[in-house]
């Protein structure tokens, strides 16, 4: 019991120093203040100092020189949506590579094999959506 208590104490202090206190966040706070201040000064400065000429042409949305027409709230082809959903799915799966990348050397060939297995499951899903025609753009 004594030993466990001693261990507990030791580890608590060790981890406590490792995680740090509020004082360690001081530089981050400074940086945050500086960033906000910089942006505020720049926007405010250009707003105050810059000349203002409000004409109809200037107030129009800039769309690469092409005349804009209609609003953005129009129904779009469902295909965009399908691609977006598939992108979300396949994109987020990549998250599992992060732990692997960190322990790349320790895991060795066995880890590599398992990642290959993971990627192959990925590919199976990808082949499936291609075969199902989910990515065909033209009707």
Partner 1 sequence: MNAIILSVIIGVVMMFCSVFVPNKNSYRHIASIGLVLLLAGNIAEMHGFSLFHINTKGMLSYDNFGLFFNTIAIASTLIYVLLSGRDIQKIGTYVAEYFVLIFFVLCGIAILSSYNNLLMLFLGIEILSIPLYILTGSDKRNMMSNEAALKYLLMGSFSTGLMLMGIALIYGATGSFNIEVIHAASPQQGANGMSELSVSFLEIMGMLLLMVSIGFKVSAAPFHFWTPDVYDGAPAVITSFMATIVKVAGFIAFIKLFDARMLGTSVETNKLIGVDWKLLFAIIIICTLLVGNVTAVFQQSVKRMLAYSSIAQAGFMLFALFSMNDVAKEGILVYSVAYSLATIGIFAILVKMKDFTFEGYNGLGKTQPVLAFTNTIFLLSLAGIPLTAGFFAKFFMLESAIKTGTYLWLVIAAVVFAAISVYYYFRVIQAMYFKAGDAAVVEAPTMSFKIGLLLLAAIIIYFGIFPQALLSWFYF
Partner 2 sequence: MPIQYYIALSATLFCIGIVGVLTRRNAIVIFMCIELMLNAVNLLLVAFSKMQPVAAATNTAARNAANVGIDGQIFVFFIMVVAAAEVSVGLAIIVMMYRNTHSVDVNFLNRLKN
Per the rule left: phi > 0, alpha: psi between -120 and 50, beta: everything else, 69 is beta
Residue 65 CB, nearest distance to partner 2 (Å)?
A: 34
Q: Determine the Cα–Cα distance for residues 118 and 112; give it in Å rounded to an integer.
A: 10
3-state secondary structure of 74: coil
The answer to whether 111 touches 103, Cβ cutoff 8 Å, is yes
The nearest distance, CB 121 to partner 1, in angstroms, is 8
Among 39, 85, 123, 135, binds partner 2 (CB under 8 A): 85
Q: Residue 11 interacts with partner 2 (CB under 8 A)?
A: yes
Q: Which residues bind partner 1 (CB under 8 A)?
A: 8, 12, 16, 124, 128, 131-132
Contacted by 131, from partner 2, partner 1, none: CB < 5 to 8 Å by type = partner 1
In the complex, minimum distance from the CB of residue 128 to partner 1, in angstroms, rounded to a whole number: 6
Kindly determine how many residues on this chain lie close enough to bind partner 2 according to the rule CB under 8 A.
27
Q: How many CA atoms lie within 13 A of 126 on its CB side?
A: 10
* Dist. CA 81–CA 135, nearest whole Å: 11
Which range, of 35-43, 62-70, 85-93, 120-128, touches partner 2 by CB under 8 A? 85-93
Q: What's the rounded Cα separation, in Å, for the pair 9 and 3? A: 10
Which of partner 1, partner 2, none is residue 28 near (CB under 5 to 8 Å by kind)? none
Across the chain, where does the E strand assignment appear? none
Q: How far is the CB of 131 from partner 2 (least distance, A)?
A: 19
Which CB, 45 or 99, lies closer to partner 1? 99
């Amino acid at each position: 019991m004594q030993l466990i208590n001693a261990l507990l104490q030791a580890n608590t202090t060790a981890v406590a120093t490792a995680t740090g206190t509020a004082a360690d966040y001081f530089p981050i706070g400074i940086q945050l203040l500086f960033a906000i201040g910089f942006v505020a000064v720049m926007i405010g400065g250009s707003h105050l100092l810059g000349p203002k000429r409000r004409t109809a042409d200037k107030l129009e949305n800039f769309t690469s020189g092409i005349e804009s027409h209609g609003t953005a709230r129009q129904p779009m082809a469902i295909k965009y949506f399908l691609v977006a959903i598939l992108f979300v799915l396949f994109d987020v799966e990549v998250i599992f590579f992060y732990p692997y990348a960190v322990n790349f050397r320790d895991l060795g060939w066995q880890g590599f094999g398992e990642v290959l297995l993971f990627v192959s499951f990925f590919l199976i899903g990808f082949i499936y959506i291609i075969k199902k025609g989910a990515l065909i753009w033209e009707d």
